Chains A and B, each alone.
Chain A
Amino acid sequence: GNSVTQMEGPVTLSEEAFLTINCTYTATGYPSLFWYVQYPGEGLQLLLKATKADDKGSNKGFEATYRKETTSFHLEKGSVQVSDSAVYFCALRRGGSQGNLIFGKGTKLSVKP
């Protein structure tokens, strides 16, 4: 079946450190891949997405590349800020644009000044 596995947290970094949150997936066909972010007290927000192999999604300094050969969609940021502290969810969408999302367990990131 379809599933998403992401690295367990929490992840604690100092400001300006490099961030990687690993995400791998299992899916039939060619799913679209997403990263969502949940800031404290808020709902989930779409951070970035990629809809086909080798696509790179990017937003707010975050990047992730759809790697079909390794079934991965790792999230990276070169220099994190305290304001990046949040829970990050990797997700895939099955069934094309009409499908629902399947999420990983989420990774909590804490950035210290």
Chain B
Amino acid sequence: GAVVSQHPSRVICKSGTSVKIECRSLDFQATTMFWYRQFPKQSLMLMATSNEGSKATYEQGVEKDKFLINHASLTLSTLTVTSAHPEDSSFYICSARDPGGGNTIYFGEGSWLTVV
């Protein structure tokens, strides 16, 4: 079946540095990918919708300059957390919509980010 791969699964970075998380659709072309964030004991909150070849659409309250999203190809979207701070520590998960598969949404495994 369709698979979405997310990398890295865990990352620790120092405060003030930037970290990139990749989301790949392995066997389908995803024109749209979504990035979510999950705080402890909270729901998955949509951060932004990423469309291939265009700028991402951010949800209200999400800082565009802090969470840079690039969807340069039909199989890859990246989320870069810039100038990371400890409060950015969270679980980030991407999903990709398969337009050839009835618009089914598949999720990556998620990435645990810890900023120290």
Contact = CB atoms under 8 A, between A and B. Distances in A.
Nearest to A105: B43
Interface stretch (A53-61, A78-86, A96-104): A96-104
Contact of B4 (A41, A43, A89): A43
A44 to B, nearest CB: 4
A92 B103 CA distance: 14
A100 B103 contact: no
A44 B93 contact: yes
Contacts of B67: none
Nearest to B103: A97
A42 interface: yes
A98 B4 contact: no
A46 interface: yes
A36 B93 CA distance: 14
Interface in B10-61: 32, 34, 36, 41-44, 46, 49
Interface in B78-116: 93, 95, 102-110
A31 interface: no
B43 A106 contact: yes
- B34, B43, B102, B108 interface centre (most CB from chain A within 10 Å): B43
Interface string A59-78: 00000000000000000000
A101 B95 contact: yes
Contacts of A45: 107
Contacts of B34: 100-101
Contacts of A41: 109
Contacts of B104: 46
Given A43-B6, A106-B43, A98 B109 contact: no
Given A36-B107, A106-B44, 5 more contacts: A4-B43, A43-B4, A43-B93, A44-B107, A100-B49
Interface of B: 4, 6, 32, 34, 36, 41-44, 46, 49, 93, 95, 102-110
7 contacts: A42-B109, A44-B93, A45-B107, A97-B103, A100-B34, A105-B42, A105-B43
